[in-house]
Amino acid sequence: MPERIPTHVALIVDGNRRWARQRHLPASLGHKAGFDRLTEITRYAIKDCGVHILSLYVFSTENFARDSREVNFLMDLLVNNYKAMTDEMIERGCRILFSGRRENLQPRVLDAMDYMMQATRDKDKGVVNFCLNYGSHAELTDAARAIAREVRAGSLDPEQIDEATVERHLYSDLPPVDLLIRTSGEQRLSNFLLWQCAYAEFYFTPTLFPDFDKAAFDKALEEYARRDRRMGGDSKPR
């Protein structure tokens, strides 16, 4: 295990459908395989690797354009497994967060989300941040609207608005991302945590997510440890 472990890892979960197509399987089985892998990697990252915060891009605002049956299956994965997921996070001492817009989500999904967040609200050994119905443009738009409302109400001086003001109005009050991992070979952010990834290290792998096992996660951590994170300044001595 590398000595330098990122505090906040963001993971773009990508490649479930391609994994299924390669095996002549329905997309639902690809998503189920991806869900099982996500459970494994979440456990491994926090328990064994020492990652404190894991942000998971599991469903974007744009994903609602997919076939309704596929969308419903993805939501079923959460609704059918949320109690087991919550019990495991409680056992690990981890807090569960959800980042994204609540609009368009079914009541049963919102109920599951609220249960998970409420049941783990006092845990402090790690954070699992599920980005569900999430888009960074939407997040920044919502933050701008909230700030504008405070200015209009007279509770905020426009001249006092700074980066910290914006960060306070983002969906989750989490530190910046240190390492962003994207599976499946795509090399773009796809509207994910644009503000939080300003100085993140990016790691792209051709591995489809259902095949992204512990060894693949280790490779990402090892690559991160080799990077020289200047954060806009000079190189730091090792």
| Sign of the dihedral through C-alpha 112, 113, 118, 119 | positive
Residues in the annotated binding site: 14-19, 31, 60-62, 64, 66, 182, 188-190, 201
| Burial of 227: CB neighbours in 10 Å, binned 0-12, 13-18, 19+ | middle
Is the Cβ–Cβ distance between 236 and 229 less than 8 Å? yes
Type of residue found at 80: N
Q: Which residue ranges make up the annotated binding site for substrate?
A: 15-19, 31, 60-62, 64, 66, 182, 188-190
Q: List, as residue ranges, the binding site for Mg(2+).
A: 14, 201
Strand order in 126-134's β-sheet? 94-99, 126-134, 53-60, 8-12, 179-182, 201-204
Compute the CA torsion angle 91, 75, 100, 182 (nearest 10 deg).
Answer: 80
Catalytic residues: 14, 63
